[in-house]
Chain A
């Protein structure tokens, strides 16, 4: 097989993918309406998956969830390989960086990162040991550890 054939397929597939991710509307030969519908369906599938994997964060954001998660998707058009849990982790981290992560979301992020390590390869691995701390204003604090034989231990102030 000549490399030219693979290169041609790579280009066509990249074009289709970029159209489906909403970044390219000029896709010769395709049914434009079908591509738009497919693109919208991938977008809403991803939003629903994040809401399902991060129920406390979604509930805490309430009516702002759609708008905030839409912004996350605009900033990260391609989903991470690790699925909705990884996608939501990046979303929560982004909110935290803008000081927009609600306290319940902060606790969910702590709980998820206590259990999972998100690798460079996009895959997540279960942690045997984990520890984390969250501090909020007005003053509140949550600390958690995870270890084999002990399970998870949480301390929250005020209790």
Chain B
């Protein structure tokens, strides 16, 4: 792997629409598999099996545990994540600091939790329950907040830090979401920025470079959920991400 890219290296969120572009990309260290897109009873998708055969590592990603919800995570959802992690020899499972259902109703979207002590305590319990049921370490991912809760007592950074410390979890830092939250905050809500549906913008890349200049990132990945680009464009984006981390890491080593 390139200097500064960590153990995992450069990765991408695996989507069927991108399977061919991913298969043809020579420099990938890992792919992220979204559990909800995979058959909970079936075998791994053939293109994913081939990637694993080539030595590409896997990270399993969940979007429906609702760790920030009022109910503890359901055993059958944890079992589905564990099964996929086992099938793909995943090195970790990631989920969001969010709730996706309440009162038996699905949101169809990742929603923010109130940043209060009470809500944090419930999150900690839910995360610990999930960790106890998963065969590999759990990483928690920050989301882009669609609305702000009025009862916020803590800033996002403080809330996340406390959560990670109390649960001994890893952080999957979504740089685009950090950027989107910063930009949405205080701006016209009609200008809401939809992340992950278009090319990574300069602001997020600058943030990634600044991050790599401060800490050794264990791996970096691109997530595209919508408007899937052709292979060439995807490769350009991956190059830009790699470049940001390498440049940032070089700054970290300067005296």
Q: Is the CB of A20 within 8 A of B190?
A: no
- Among residues 29 to 85 in chain B, which have CB atoms less than 8 Å away from a CB atom of chain A? 36, 39-42, 64, 69-71, 76
Report chain A residues within 8 Å CB of B114: 9, 12
Is B155 among interface residues, defined by CB-CB distance under 8 A?
A: no
What is the chain A residue whose CB lies nearest that of B125?
Answer: A1
Bound: A43/B121 CA distance, A: 31
Bound: A18/B121 CA distance, A: 24
Bound: A16/B149 CA distance, A: 9
Q: What is the distance, in angstroms, from B184's C-beta to the closest C-beta of chain A?
A: 9
Of the stretches B6-14, B101-109, B198-206, the one at the interface is: B101-109
Whether A14 touches B105, Cβ cut-off 8 Å, given contacts A9-B122, A123-B40, is yes
Interface magnitude class on chain A: 35 or more
Q: Which of B99, B108, B190 contacts A13 (CB 8 A)?
A: B99
Count B-side interface residues using an 8 Å CB cutoff.
38
Bound: A52/B17 CA distance, A: 12
Report chain B residues within 8 Å CB of A28: 150
Report chain A residues within 8 Å CB of B148: 30-31, 34
- Among residues 99 to 146 in chain B, which have CB atoms less than 8 Å away from a CB atom of chain A? 99, 101-103, 105-109, 111, 113-114, 118-119, 121-122, 125, 146
Q: Is the CB of A16 within 8 A of B147?
A: yes
What is the chain B residue whose CB lies nearest that of A17?
Answer: B102
Q: Is the CB of A1 within 8 A of B122?
A: yes
What is the chain B residue whose CB lies nearest that of A124?
Answer: B39
Bound: A125/B36 CA distance, A: 11
Bound: A40/B44 CA distance, A: 36
Is B151 among interface residues, defined by CB-CB distance under 8 A?
A: yes
Which of A12, A14, A42, A122 has the largest number of chain B CB atoms within 10 A?
Answer: A12
Q: Is the CB of A125 within 8 A of B64?
A: no
Q: Is the CB of A46 within 8 A of B108?
A: yes
* Residues on A facing B (Cβ under 8 Å): 1, 5-10, 12-14, 16-18, 20-21, 28-31, 33-35, 37-38, 41-42, 45-46, 52, 78-81, 83, 121-126
Further contacts, 20 of them, CB under 8 A, given A10-B69, A10-B70, A38-B146: A1-B121, A7-B70, A10-B102, A12-B151, A13-B113, A16-B147, A16-B149, A17-B102, A17-B103, A20-B146, A21-B107, A28-B150, A31-B147, A31-B148, A34-B147, A34-B148, A41-B146, A41-B194, A42-B109, A80-B106
